[in-house]
Each structure stands twice: as structure tokens, then as C-alpha cells.
């Protein structure tokens, strides 16, 4: 039996966990009698529990441990060196070398003129901060325009009409999309069940169609689908009043609902609509940033040209609690005026130890060619997984990079989905525990239609693609038997 690196025995850990630890998004009643899975160590794409059992982590923690579990020692040395040099200093009014170096490094990896980096502690804070930034951007820009107009008038210029655009607050997001749990980020979420317990939420968020194509009419062409989505976006903006909308926030590939990629022409259209109504476009790259789609940022791969990128998880490969809001020169510009500042801050934003860890993570990703590896192997991964489409329960395989989802259906012909009750028995009652028992960590999720999400560390090789496919094949066949088909 494997001995955990703690003073407690496995049995003591179980008891203390049951008595004191509150797990996130977890029905704790389920563990009153059953064992809590306690992970004690990892290597490569694998983790091990207190019983010494190994699991292939096909979820990379939570879409996060991009370099896998094999570089902990090297990253730890960078953290320890930083601890010795300067364990903490803040980014409120002060800078320190690691935050500066990391900001410069992130800016160099981000596409276009996304040159300014504001550090936070994670993805929700990044989304929260992006919305606040977008709101304050218009106010700051409005003040600046007013000053410029006043100066021009004082110089004798006659200005007949002047529209100030200094108060915008609304956000536009997509249905079923997950963007985090703090009140602002939660309000942006398009998942009704997550929102409901906390209503009333932060006003106002407009939710538009996502890019799920599987349940669209089969005769619809890709171009028609794109036009349909863009029309919905533009109409929703017009209805809400474009002059009140600060930000459109979309993931390059939407995770919740199951790796929804966008159809051809979609991003160009979204950018044009944002430009037409002078709205900031934010790409939420909390998952897709730092290599998951075979590019440092998916915004580059899809030529999204966002004004803001939110990022977290892969920035440090989840070896540290750090996220970032990355803004273009245009977004920064009004904040460089006179007394202006972005009125926002978080004690741990840009924490030197977290920054040192993120810098080391990026160094490792570059040295090991991890982003290139994903770009090179993504087709092989897709092809391996596509054998699962032969199973009667698997309706769709979608995604790209190392980021896939299988949609489960009752009937492949009609694409009929499972009822809520069936999802409860199939996903929570059977699939999740059975996959874990079979040594595979991936997520059975029904925030949209029921899907299995597959998102391993970016160091995964063909051996892991095969193993994931083989275990999923067995367990999904059992699931089909279970529901009596």
C-alpha cells in the first residue's frame, strides 16, 4: 500500500476528510458511507490514490495540468528559490521581477497587441476582472473623449454633436457556457442550474445561442449555421441596446455542453458585430489557453482578435493559483491618462511564487515542445477516439487539440437525448463511478446534453489515447446494457 506524504494513515485521512473537508460541487451525502477518493501523487498522465491504485487522468486535474504530473520537482525548485528570494510582495502600487517577467512572457505569447497583463488568482477572478475592466473602459474612454472635445472647442473648433459613450455594463455570453462561480462570473454563466440557487444575480447578462451543431437540422449547411448564429447574436445585441453592452465573452471552444467548436466564418462575424457596435470582445481562454488546442492561445488559431483574453489553469499548469487578464493596447489606452486607474485589485494578484511557477511552466512547455506536440498529435487522438462512434450510445465526437467530448444518445438515428432521470442514473449513478473504478478519470457531464469530456495532460501519447479509448469503450458498452437496450 502506498503511504501518503502526511502524518495521517489512509483511514485517518478518510475520517478527517469526511468530518472536516467540504468538497466543491460535490454531494457530500454520497460520501457519508462511501470512500472519498484521495489522490496522493502523480506522474506523467497518471495519478495514484491512498490505496496505491493508479488512474489515467484524462481530465488533467480540471482541464488544467497541461504539463502533466512529472515536472513537480523542477517547478518546486523554482518555487523554493523564489521563496528564499522574496516570498511575497504585492502588485498594488509595486512591482517585482517575477510578475514583470511573466507579464512580458505572456504578452509575447499572446497574439497581436494583447500587451498588458493583470494577474489574478484563478479563472473566475479573471472573468470577474474582465467584466469590471470592460465596464470601466467605457467610463475612462468617455472622460477622455469629453476632455478632448472640450479642448478642441476651447481651441475654437465648432462641434455640433457629441455622443458620450461612458456607461456600459451589460455582458453577452452563450447558453450552457461555464465561466466560473464568483457573482459576476456566475451571472455570465449560461447554465441555469448553477445560477438558480444564487438569484438575483448581477444584472444584466444576455445569453445567446452556442455553437452546438449536433441537434441542428441535418440539411443545414455550415454557412447557414454560421449566419443563423450571427443573426441571433446581432438581434440580441440590438434588443438589449448596443450602447449599454460592454463585453461579449465567448470561449474559443465551449467546454460545457461538450467541446463545441465554431463553424467556419463565425469568429470573423463575431468580431465584425463587436466592431459595428463598439463592444469589447473577450475570449475566455481559461481552458483553451496555453496549448490545449495546439497553439499558445486559441485566439491565434482561430484568428479571433479579442480585445481581452482571460486565462488561468494552463498558465501554471495548475501548479500555482494564478490567472491573468490580458488586454490590448486599445483597452489600456484610456487608463494611461492623467489620474485614471483600473479600480480593481486582489492581494494575491501576481504573487511572486505563483509567477515564478508560471514562468517555469512556460519554460518547460517551450523546452519540451508541448504546444507543438498537441498540434502534431491532435488528429491521431481524434482518430483513435472516433472508433467509439461505432457504439450505439455514442452519437457525436467533437472537439479539437487535446479537448474532446462524446455526446451520449438514446437513439443515434433520431439523436434523441436522455431524460433528466436517465441522466441521473446513467451519468451520476453508473458512468462516473464505473469509469473511476476502471482506472480512468474523465467527466460525465449533463450541464447541456449528456457528454463525456476528455482532456488529458498535453504530454499524452498514443499509449494514453489507446487506453482512454479502450476503457471508455468497455464502460460505455456496459452503460448501454445497463439501460436495457
Q: What does the binding site for ligand PLP look like in residue numbers (CB under 6 A)?
A: 62, 122-124, 127, 178-180, 251, 255, 284, 286-287, 312
Of 4 and 289, nearer to ligand PLP (C-beta) is 289
Of 46 and 178, nearer to ligand PLP (C-beta) is 178
Beta-carbon contacts of residue 429 (< 8 Å; ≥ 6 apart): none
Of 131 and 335, nearer to ligand PLP (C-beta) is 131
Of 287 and 394, nearer to ligand PLP (C-beta) is 287
Of 46 and 63, nearer to ligand PLP (C-beta) is 63
Q: How far is the CB of 309 from ligand PLP (least distance, A)?
A: 11
Q: How far is the CB of 390 from ligand PLP (least distance, A)?
A: 30
Q: How far is the CB of 348 from ligand PLP (least distance, A)?
A: 13
Report d(CA 131, CA 469) in Å as an integer. 39
Q: How far is the CB of 302 from ligand PLP (least distance, A)?
A: 15
Of 122 and 457, nearer to ligand PLP (C-beta) is 122
Q: How far is the CB of 116 from ligand PLP (least distance, A)?
A: 20
Of 173 and 471, nearer to ligand PLP (C-beta) is 173
From residue 193, how far is each of 117, 198, 422 by CA, in Å? 33, 10, 17
Q: How far is the CB of 173 from ligand PLP (least distance, A)?
A: 10
Report d(CA 381, CA 362) in Å as an integer. 23
Residue nearest to ligand PLP (CB): 123
Tell me the three-class secondary structure of the chain, residue by residue: CCCCCCCCCHHHHHHHHHHHCCCCCCCHHHHCCCCCCCEEEEECCEEEECCCCEEEECCHHHHCCCCCCCCHHHHHHHHHHHHHHCCCCCCCCCCCHHHHHHHHHHHHHCCCCEEEEEEECCHHHHHHHHHHHHHHHHHHHHHHHHHHHHHHHHCCCCCCCCCCCCCCCEEEEECCCCCCCCHHHHHHCCCHHHHHHHCCCCCCEEEECCCCCCCCCCCCCHHHHHHHHHHHHHHHHHHHCHHHEEEEEECCCECCCCCECCCCCHHHHHHHHHHHCCCEEEEECCCCCCCCCCCCCHHHHCCCCCCEEEECHHHCCCCCCCEEEEEEHHHHHHHHCCCCCCCCCCCCCCCHHHHHHHHHHHHHHHHCCHHHHHHHHHHHHHHHHHHHHHCCCEEEEEEECCEEEEEECCECCCCECCCHHHHHHHHHHHHHHHHHHCCEECEEECCCCCEEEECCCCCCCHHHHHHHHHHHHHHHHHHHHHCCC
Q: How far is the CB of 134 from ligand PLP (least distance, A)?
A: 15
Omega cis (within 30) before 333 = no
Of 82 and 288, nearer to ligand PLP (C-beta) is 288
Q: How far is the CB of 256 from ligand PLP (least distance, A)?
A: 8
Radius of gyration of the chain (CA): 24
Q: How far is the CB of 24 from ligand PLP (least distance, A)?
A: 9
Q: How far is the CB of 32 from ligand PLP (least distance, A)?
A: 26
Of 124 and 317, nearer to ligand PLP (C-beta) is 124
Of 62 and 95, nearer to ligand PLP (C-beta) is 62
Q: How far is the CB of 312 from ligand PLP (least distance, A)?
A: 5
Q: Phi, psi (5° rounding) for residue 337?
A: -85, 135
Of 286 and 353, nearer to ligand PLP (C-beta) is 286
Of 180 and 399, nearer to ligand PLP (C-beta) is 180
Beta-carbon contacts of residue 383 (< 8 Å; ≥ 6 apart): none
Q: How far is the CB of 163 from ligand PLP (least distance, A)?
A: 34
Amino acid at each position: 500500500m502506498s503511504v501518503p506524504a502526511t502524518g495521517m494513515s489512509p483511514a485517518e485521512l478518510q475520517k478527517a476528510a469526511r468530518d472536516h473537508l467540504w468538497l466543491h460541487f460535490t454531494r457530500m451525502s454520497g460520501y457519508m458511507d462511501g470512500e472519498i477518493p484521495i489522490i496522493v501523487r502523480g506522474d506523467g498522465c497518471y495519478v495514484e490514490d491512498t490505496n496505491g491504485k493508479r488512474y489515467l487522468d484524462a481530465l488533467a486535474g480540471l482541464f488544467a495540468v497541461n504539463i502533466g504530473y512529472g515536472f513537480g520537482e523542477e517547478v518546486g525548485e523554482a518555487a523554493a528559490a523564489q521563496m528564499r528570494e522574496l516570498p511575497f510582495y504585492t502588485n498594488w502600487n509595486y512591482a517585482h521581477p517575477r510578475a514583470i517577467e511573466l507579464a512580458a512572457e505572456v504578452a509575447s505569447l499572446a497574439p497581436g497587441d494583447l500587451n498588458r497583463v493583470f494577474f489574478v488568482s484563478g479563472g473566475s477572478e479573471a472573468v470577474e476582472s474582465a467584466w469590471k475592466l470592460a465596464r470601466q473602459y467605457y467610463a475612462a474612454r468617455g472622460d477622455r473623449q469629453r476632455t478632448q472635445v472640450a479642448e478642441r472647442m476651447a481651441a475654437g473648433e465648432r462641434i455640433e454633436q457629441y455622443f458620450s459613450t461612458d456607461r456600459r455594463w451589460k455582458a453577452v455570453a452563450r447558453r450552457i457556457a461555464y465561466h466560473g462561480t464568483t457573482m459576476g462570473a456566475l451571472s455570465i454563466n449560461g447554465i441555469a442550474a448553477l445560477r438558480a440557487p444564487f438569484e438575483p444575480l448581477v444584472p444584466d447578462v444576455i445569453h445567446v445561442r452556442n455553437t452546438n451543431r449536433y441537434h441542428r437540422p441535418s440539411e443545414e449547411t455550415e454557412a447557414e449555421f454560421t449566419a443563423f448564429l450571427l443573426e441571433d447574436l446581432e438581434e440580441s445585441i440590438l434588443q438589449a441596446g448596443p450602447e449599454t453592452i460592454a463585453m461579449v465573452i465567448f470561449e474559443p471552444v465551449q467546454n460545457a455542453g461538450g467541446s463545441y467548436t465554431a463553424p467556419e466564418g463565425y469568429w470573423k462575424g463575431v468580431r465584425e458585430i463587436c466592431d459595428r457596435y463598439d463592444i469589447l470582445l473577450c475570449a475566455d481562454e481559461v481552458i483553451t489557453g496555453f496549448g490545449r488546442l495546439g497553439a499558445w492561445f486559441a485566439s491565434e488559431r482561430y484568428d479571433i482578435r479579442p480585445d481581452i483574453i482571460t486565462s488561468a489553469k494552463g498558465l501554471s499548469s495548475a501548479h500555482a493559483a494564478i490567472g491573468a487578464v490580458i488586454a490590448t493596447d486599445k483597452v489600456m489606452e484610456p487608463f494611461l491618462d492623467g489620474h485614471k486607474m483600473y479600480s480593481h485589485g486582489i492581494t494575491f494578484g501576481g504573487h511572486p511564487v505563483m509567477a515564478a511557477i508560471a514562468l517555469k511552466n512556460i519554460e518547460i512547455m517551450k523546452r519540451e515542445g508541448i504546444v507543438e506536440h498537441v498540434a502534431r498529435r491532435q488528429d491521431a487522438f481524434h482518430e483513435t477516439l472516433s472508433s467509439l462512434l461505432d457504439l450505439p450510445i455514442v452519437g457525436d465526437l467533437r472537439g479539437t487539440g487535446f479537448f474532446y467530448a462524446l455526446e451520449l444518445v438514446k437513439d443515434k438515428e433520431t439523436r434523441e437525448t436522455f431524460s433528466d432521470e436517465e441522466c441521473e442514473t446513467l451519468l451520476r449513478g453508473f458512468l462516473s463511478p464505473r469509469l473511476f473504478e476502471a482506472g480512468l478519470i474523465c467527466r460525465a457531464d449533463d450541464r447541456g446534453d449528456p457528454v463525456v469530456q476528455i482532456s488529458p495532460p498535453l504530454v499524452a501519447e498514443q499509449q494514453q489515447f489507446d487506453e482512454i479509448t479502450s476503457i471508455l469503450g468497455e464502460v460505455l458498452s456496459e452503460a448501454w446494457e445497463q439501460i436495457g437496450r
